A = this chain, B = another copy of it.
Amino acid sequence: MSAEVANPPSRQETRKSAAKRRVPQSKRGAIYRDIREYLAELERRDLLIRVKRLTNKDTEVMPLVRWQFRGLDQAQRKAWLFENLTDSRGRKFDGSVGVALDGASAQVYAAAMGLNSPQDIIKKWLDAQEHPIHPVEVSRDKAPVKEVVITGKEIVAGGGIDKFPVPVTNPGTDASAYFSCPVWITRDPETGVYNVGTYRVMLKAADRAGVMIVTGQDGRIHWEKARALGRPLEAVLCLSPVPALSLCSVAKLRQPEYEVAGALNGAPLELVKAETVDLFIPATAEIAIEGHLRTDVLEMEGPFGEYGGYTGAQDYHIIFEVSAITHRRHPILQAFISEMPPSESSCIRKFGFEGSLRRELAAKVPSLVGVNLFEAIGGSLQVLAISLKRKPDAGETWAALRSAASSMNIPGYKWIIAVNDDIDITDIESVFWAMAWRVQPHRDIQIMRGRPTDLDPSAAPVDSKFTDRVYPDGLGGSQILIDATMKWPYPPVSLPTREHMERARAIWEELGLPKLTPRVPWFGYELGFWPESWDRATKLTTAGRYLEVGSELRALRTKASYCDTGIVEAPEKE
């Protein structure tokens, strides 16, 4: 790295412009300096479970945390810290493992962002994207990640990457221990622009790992460019940085992750030079593994459980060769609880993707109210609901659907459903109620091919050709876009109106009946169609004068011709 690059360049910057820029060397205002400060805050909020019993990282750690995703409500889920670890070989470890630290629940995620309530998450994402903060460089002696430095032959002699207590995520279906929340740092070989991304890492040897980076991901683009240039890609596998960076790493941002992470964390990210590669890395991370991604050969990798709920296939993937390991003393290794949704990874992806998508749609769709990625059914990827105001302009609903469909360069959303804002987009029952009664399939649904299908087992059999699995028939998989908004004014929701439901609730309580948890909608509301004559008839009815309605309707008769042509004759008096 040349001397003029005082700070790592952002994606939008060339080296030159970066060199000109002066960044204050201060970290004032940082929410968390490192993961240790964050763990203390989680404990203060009663959101951390410390496990002091001896626990086996190969068979017990992850199944234990998994239970809270398959047996507890989201609000009960917490972050976990395992302080006393062994493995199936009977080893002990100098360090601990933190699981579900960022995405145990929306509450934990809010804590990772320094927020008191999950309600502010999307706003903070939008703000951070609007006001990114450039990182700062710190010297080696102020970088905790340099407390221990291991290079050369020491790497293998000391156990290498296997000296850390890397948990087996799905004992019985995974084919190795995996780093499940890796933060990969690479630079575009042509532009020098940094990328920070999360791609699964299979332990293969003390100094070798397998990495899967699917088509379209930024890290893959860097790798393809290095390959075209005929050289390996330098990379650092960073573990347990400040939580803001972990969140950015999985968020599919269009801006530099280092800068957005700074904004999320309230202060410039502290970076330090790597030992053996030309990269700046987070100075307060627990562990950094330096090396290069080979571009000449691939090696078999997997199987490993994936976020859709199925084990991802074994296939040829990238080789990472280690040139240095640096870490803090008694390092804390972070692990995501991923795979079968809901999981930590689906929770984290959800908020990051939503923040990014909302920003993009807001520019094109004035009626946008919100977006929701369904965690449990789609792993926060396959199923997206978009909420629009009651009366979007002509074409706006489809503009929203089409924009969302093409908003990612990775596989992208499969089911995209637009609804009006009286529908609760976080509740799949409410969304499907709109799909049931506001959609005519032949008119309101379009299916579009061209979707990459990495990790989607519906694309092709697991053992079929790689190209068939990632892009069947050369035409790709497909997306289904559904306009479940009202196409015209609807009559009211068929429930008693608010005053009557409130009066009844008072009687309910007077009778001492069980406590109510009202579910939306709990009263009839207008949806645009409510003629004066209906209004009058309903008022007569609640006054007990409904036979007057019947008497008036007597004047509205027509010849019976239901079956042939519908009612077409003029009404006749009798």
Contacts and interface: CB of A to CB of B under 8 A. Distances in A.
A432 B316 contact: no
A432 B383 CA distance: 9
Interface stretch (A109-117, A131-139, A476-484): A476-484
B465 A437 contact: no
A174 B538 contact: yes
> A-B pairs with the 10 shortest C-beta distances?
A305-B494, A204-B550, A172-B497, A88-B544, A71-B516, A467-B566, A63-B504, A175-B537, A300-B556, A382-B436
A316 B567 contact: yes
A563 interface: yes
Contacts of A208: 550, 554
19 contacts: A49-B511, A59-B500, A63-B503, A70-B519, A71-B519, A173-B495, A175-B549, A176-B546, A176-B547, A227-B560, A308-B437, A310-B491, A311-B494, A313-B491, A377-B432, A440-B477, A442-B477, A462-B491, A463-B529
Given A170-B524, A303-B534, A550-B176, A297 B440 contact: no
Contact of A176 (B467, B537, B554): B537
A499 interface: yes
A210 to B, nearest CB: 7
A518 interface: yes
A297 B559 contact: yes
A488 B227 CA distance: 35
B491 A58 contact: no
A283 interface: no
Interface string A72-93: 1000100000000001110100
A366 interface: no
A557 B298 contact: yes
A487 interface: yes
Given A297-B574, A462-B490, A553-B299, A70 B518 contact: yes
Contacts of A177: 541, 546
Interface stretch (A22-30, A94-102, A326-334, A452-460): A452-460
B63 A466 contact: no
Nearest to A561: B298
Contacts of A574: 297
B66 A504 contact: yes
A12 B566 CA distance: 31
A60 B492 CA distance: 20
A23 to B, nearest CB: 36
A124 interface: no
A160 to B, nearest CB: 10
Contacts of A140: none
A457 B497 CA distance: 20
Assembly stoichiometry (copies): 2
A440 B459 contact: yes
Contacts of A429: 376-377, 428
A53 interface: yes
Interface string A180-224: 000000000000000000000011111010100001000010001
A205 B547 contact: yes
Contacts of A253: none
Given A311-B492, A495-B305, A541 B467 contact: no
Nearest to A91: B544
A449 B444 CA distance: 13
Given A51-B511, A224-B562, A551 B441 contact: no
A498 B217 CA distance: 34
Contact of A494 (B173, B444, B489, B544): B173
A121 interface: no
A170 B495 contact: yes
A430 B8 CA distance: 45
A425 interface: no
A566 B454 CA distance: 12
Given A457-B490, A551-B205, A538 B172 contact: yes
